[in-house]
Structure 1
Amino acid sequence: MMRHLPLFLSFLAIFCSMQAFSQGDLKELREDPNTKKLNADTTKGVQIKQINVPIPKLGLEVDYWKHWTKFGLNLNQATFSDNWKAGGVNSVAIGGTFWHKSEYNKDRFNFVSELDFRYGKVWNKDQLAKKNNDRIFWDNKLAYKFTDIWALYFSFTFESQFDVGYKYDAKGENIIDTLSSFMAPGYFTESFGLEYKPDKTFSLRFGTGTARQTLILDDRIAPPIEATKPIYGVEPGKKFKNDLAFQITANLDRNLSQNLNLKARYNLFADYKDVSDPDHRLDATLTAKVTSLVNVALTGILVYKSDESSRVQYSQALTMGIIYALPR
């Protein structure tokens, strides 16, 4: 052991000297590797400059309007040979329809404008041509929603027909009388009240303040002063009538299945002079979509107006035609 002691002490002295040198070098390298020492005080003069990065405009705008349009053509034709024993009349019937709806929604305001044009004519052999469909309907409604399903509304509606309607003799070969024409009659209706709309397919209006003007601007139809009864509610010798009434209007536009749609409108008009005898009108159309362009439609109309007839008036039609809808 004593023999190795000088060697051990030599190694110990060399190790201690190397340790002292390395610590000094490391300290020098840490503090001055050809760089400047940054003290905390020097950061007081540093300023950070804000840079605004330009963001390109995308040109996006909110469109509060929606539009729908449908127009179509119906054609029916029947031909019989001269020796056809079962009976029948050669005939051609053609009809056209145009429907448009625009709707605006922003916050609690809602505006809807709906336009419905229908016209059709039938030609039977050896008879005069007769119209079998004729309607002008334009409805406008402005509403303010105060809950999710209730709103205050104001509406304006115009109704009339395009063409002259005649009364024919039993054989349909001669005109006996003129029954209607454009603005004879024509109806303007203004209504204010409450609207109940639980979803997009159904609405119910309660028009507590409603006024309707009836005009007969065709002298062939307007009741002369010597007439014994009103025509379309207009008194003899006059062409204008104004009514104040309570009105209920129900609208339904619902898809019963993927290719089957039911559209209906019911209107009750009760004159405040005699609320016990209101006018009623129901328009209903059941449409079955055959292809993207071809459909079959069953249309029915029920009307009761005591100043026109003591019985219910009705009209029914079954048609197949081409309908083009926008947007596709």
Structure 2
Amino acid sequence: MAQEAKADAAKADTVKAWSIQGQNTLMLNQAAFSNWVGGGANNVGWLAGVNYNLTYEKGKDLWENIIILGYGQNNTKGIGTRKTQDVINLSTNYGREFAKNWYLSGGIGLQTQFAGGYEDGNNPDAKKISNFMAPGYLNVGVGVTYRPNDNFTATLRPANARVTFVLDKELQTAGTYGLKNDGDSSLFQFGFLGTAIYKIKIMDNINLTNTASVFSNYLDHPERLVLGYSGILNMKINKFISTNVTLDLLYDHNQIQKTQLKQTLGVGFAYNIDNGKKRSDKKDNQSWMK
């Protein structure tokens, strides 16, 4: 009996409340031409990124943290270097369970980019249209989170403050990203924010992660919804090689009154981290070890 008790204690000691799922990627592409009648320009490109989900879950507490960073460039002969990917997306959300799978929650999120963007394909000689924290979006709000399993999370915040920062003085003109006056560096909005993440395992080594969001500003034109969708299709070839296909859709009246679309395809090195198990029936722990 003493030996069994020690074994049970050792087993309990290995149980932890944190789990981590993440991917580190480095995608490379290259093309070369010589006397090619069909035409073409020599080019080389790269894209690096990290995508992490860190979750603490124990008892009635749920704390989710998301870190998404990505940057990429392409250099084409005769054109020069252009940016192909640029994203900073950080968020944290804490919830306290009040009913099965439902949590009273509050959180903060920040979205921006690393470097400047230009009107003519990121040509630095063209008109600048964006930069680091220009725009930058800070969301702070409270509401409820629904999380029935590890593959689906939805958060509804009927009280959410959204601050748009434009810290580049060249871009601080009335109308840019909704700014009211020339020289303004920020725009305050208050409204409803809804977000959802849905992960699908299509087949072995092929996974699709869907992220969607909607924001309505109570203070001014609540019918002008800010809509966003991001899809990441990851096809794992082996432990270190994978293919990623991404699709981003965005509509924001304050940015441009058109639907924005971005799509990327890359094959390269990827290292996945998956130290999380499915939650137990009691949902009171997650293990670091598979």
Could you tell me the TM-score, scaled by structure 2's length? 0.86
CA-to-partner distance for each residue in 1:138-196, whole Å, 9 max, x for gaps? Answer: 01010111122221111110111111112338xx8761211111111111101211222
Q: 1:199 aligns with which of 149, 153, 162?
A: 149
Retained in 2: the 8 A contact 1:162–1:181?
yes
Question: Per-residue deviation at 1:131?
Answer: 0.5
Quote the residue 1:277 is aligned against.
224
Structure ranking higher on relative contact order (CA contacts 8 Å, 6+ apart) = 2
Give me the whole-angstrom Cα distance separating, in 2, the residues matched to 1:316 and 1:100: 21
Matched, 1:124 2:76: yes
Quote the residue 2:109 is aligned against.
157
Give me the whole-angstrom Cα distance separating, in 2, the residues matched to 1:327 and 1:202: 17
Give me the whole-angstrom Cα distance separating, in 2, the residues matched to 1:222 and 1:173: 20
Instruction: State the SS of the aligned residue for 2:256.
Output: coil
Question: Per-residue deviation at 1:326?
Answer: 2.3
Aligned CA-pair RMSD = 2.2
Question: Per-residue deviation at 1:67?
Answer: 2.0
Give me the whole-angstrom Cα distance separating, in 2, the residues matched to 1:60 and 1:200: 23
Quote the residue 1:267 is aligned against.
213
> Cα distance 1:243–1:111, how it changes in 2: closer, same or farther (>3 A)?
same
Percent identity for Structure 1 against Structure 2: 25
Q: Which has the larger radius of gyration?
A: 1
CA-to-partner distance for each residue in 1:68-119, whole Å, 9 max, x for gaps? Answer: 33211000101111x2111211111100011222111111110011100010
> Cα distance 1:256–1:246, how it changes in 2: closer, same or farther (>3 A)?
same
Question: What is the count of residue pairs matched by the alignment?
Answer: 268
Give me the whole-angstrom Cα distance separating, in 2, the residues matched to 1:275 and 1:235: 17
Give me the whole-angstrom Cα distance separating, in 2, the residues matched to 1:117 and 1:276: 31
> Cα distance 1:118–1:174, how it changes in 2: closer, same or farther (>3 A)?
closer
Quote the residue 1:109 is aligned against.
61
Matched, 1:148 2:100: yes
Q: 2:20 aligns with which of 34, 43, 67?
A: 67
Quote the residue 1:304 is aligned against.
251
Instruction: State the SS of the aligned residue for 1:84.
Output: coil
Quote the residue 2:52 is aligned against.
100
Retained in 1: the 8 A contact 2:229–2:250?
yes
Give me the whole-angstrom Cα distance separating, in 1, the residues matched to 2:24 and 2:65: 17
Question: Per-residue deviation at 1:61?
Answer: 6.0
Quote the residue 2:279 is aligned against.
none
Write out aligned runs for 1:224-263 (5 A): 229-237=174-182, 238-263=184-209
Quote the residue 1:86 is aligned against.
38
> Cα distance 1:192–1:173, how it changes in 2: closer, same or farther (>3 A)?
closer
Retained in 1: the 8 A contact 2:244–2:265?
yes
Give me the whole-angstrom Cα distance separating, in 1, the residues matched to 2:212 and 2:83: 24
Matched, 1:213 2:158: no
- Flag as ranges the 4+ runs of structure 1 deviating above 6 A: none
- Structure with bigger strand share is 2
Retained in 2: the 8 A contact 1:120–1:131?
yes
Retained in 2: the 8 A contact 1:128–1:174?
no
Give me the whole-angstrom Cα distance separating, in 1, the residues matched to 2:167 and 2:256: 21
Give me the whole-angstrom Cα distance separating, in 1, the residues matched to 2:253 and 2:22: 35
Retained in 2: the 8 A contact 1:126–1:173?
no
Retained in 1: the 8 A contact 2:72–2:86?
yes
Query: Which structure 2 segments of 5+ residues have no match?
Result: 276-290
What letter matches 1:316 in structure 2? Q
> Cα distance 1:78–1:61, how it changes in 2: closer, same or farther (>3 A)?
closer
Could you tell me the TM-score, scaled by structure 1's length? 0.77
Quote the residue 2:273 is aligned against.
326
CA-to-partner distance for each residue in 1:1-41, whole Å, 9 max, x for gaps? Answer: xxxxxxxxxxxxxxxxxxxxxxxxxxxxxxxxxxxxxxxxx
Question: Per-residue deviation at 1:327?
Answer: 4.5
CA-to-partner distance for each residue in 1:195-246, whole Å, 9 max, x for gaps? Answer: 22222101221110011111111112221xxxxx411112232111110011
